[in-house]
């Protein structure tokens, strides 16, 4: 899951990003509306967490633009306003959900995960391949009924491969989906993550290398 946090208060933005990364998300941060639109046009996001009261390009305008240009990306709007009228107007702009400040972080995470499950093409609730099952909602992976302890990035890579359903996924695509914009594009982190993932998945092998094409299940 890749998330863009758009928040002009640096401490709030950093806290949200840090917490989401602990939950396995790849997170980019923008401090204003112009930066948010630039990032969203360069990187694919499952969810945009959008503060409504932004300097420069207002959050309402960012929401309208994203809704028009990238309708599959889900938008969670944050605002200090708490009235029903604000809620209705925020949703009318094209936001998919609305959360008033201050909020509980666990509620924010739950709402982001719920939106991510609805982002992009329709996906099966539980992803499976043979005796392997991955439940995105519970963040669990089992093989032959035995739960596996995967690190967040290992989980993200496996989820991306299962969603591809046998098609090859390149290292560049995995970097886009699982890591954030700060990652070195020449890093070997994808290969290392795949190696660790294969060890944890065990035999017979599930993740295969496609010469010149990446990886697939």
Of 44-48, 147-151, 164-168, 174-178, minimum mean pLDDT range: 174-178
CB 179 within 8 A of CB 1: no
Q: Cα 121 vs. chain centroid, distance in angstroms?
A: 14
Mean pLDDT of the chain: 86
- 115-119, 126-130, 189-193, 209-213: the lowest-pLDDT one: 115-119
191, pLDDT greater than 70: yes
- What's the whole-number mean pLDDT along residues 59-86? 83
Domain end among 65, 90, 118: 118
What percentage of residues in the chain have a pLDDT greater than 90?
41
The conformation of residue 139, written as its DSSP 8-state character, comes to T
Among residues 59, 85, 118, the one where a domain terminates is: 118
C-alpha of 82 from chain center? 26
Same domain assignment for residues 46 and 134: no
In whole angstroms, give the CA distance from residue 16 to residue 35: 17
State whether 85 and 136 are in the same domain: no
**Of 101, 82, 98, nearest in space to 13 by CA:** 101
> Rounded to whole angstroms, how far apart are CA atoms 164 and 132?
15
pTM across the whole model: 0.64
Q: Residue 190 is part of a domain; what is its CATH number? A: 1.10.10.10
As for how many domains the chain has, the answer is 2
- The reply to whether 59 and 151 lie within a common domain is no
What is the domain extent for residue 7? 2-118
| 28 three-class SS | strand
Q: Is 166 helix (H, G, I), strand (E, B) or coil?
A: coil
Spatial contact of 125 and 163, defined as CB atoms under 8 Å apart: no
pLDDT single digits (tens) 74-120: 999 988 766 556 656 656 778 888 888 888 888 998 889 888 877 65
């Amino acid at each position: 899951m890749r998330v863009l946090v758009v928040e002009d208060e640096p401490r709030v933005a950093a806290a949200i990003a840090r917490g989401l990364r602990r939950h396995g998300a790849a997170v980019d941060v923008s401090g204003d509306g112009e930066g948010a639109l630039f990032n969203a046009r360069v990187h694919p996001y499952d969810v945009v967490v959008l503060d409504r009261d932004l300097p420069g390009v207002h959050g309402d305008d960012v929401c309208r633009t994203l809704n028009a240009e990238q309708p599959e990306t889900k938008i969670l709007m944050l605002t200090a306003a708490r009235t029903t009228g604000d809620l209705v107007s925020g949703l009318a702009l094209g936001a998919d959900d609305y959360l008033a400040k201050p909020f509980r972080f666990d509620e924010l995470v739950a709402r982001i995960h719920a939106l991510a499950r609805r982002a992009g093409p329709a996906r099966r609730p539980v992803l499976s391949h043979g005796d392997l099952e991955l439940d995105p909602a519970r963040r669990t992976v089992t093989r032959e009924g035995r739960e596996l302890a995967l690190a967040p990035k290992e989980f993200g890579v496996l989820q991306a491969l299962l969603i591809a359903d046998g098609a090859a996924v390149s290292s560049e695509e995995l970097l886009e989906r699982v890591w954030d914009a700060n990652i070195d594009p020449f890093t070997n982190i994808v290969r290392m993550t795949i190696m660790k993932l294969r060890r944890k998945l065990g035999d017979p092998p599930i993740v295969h290398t496609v010469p010149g094409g990446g990886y697939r299940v």
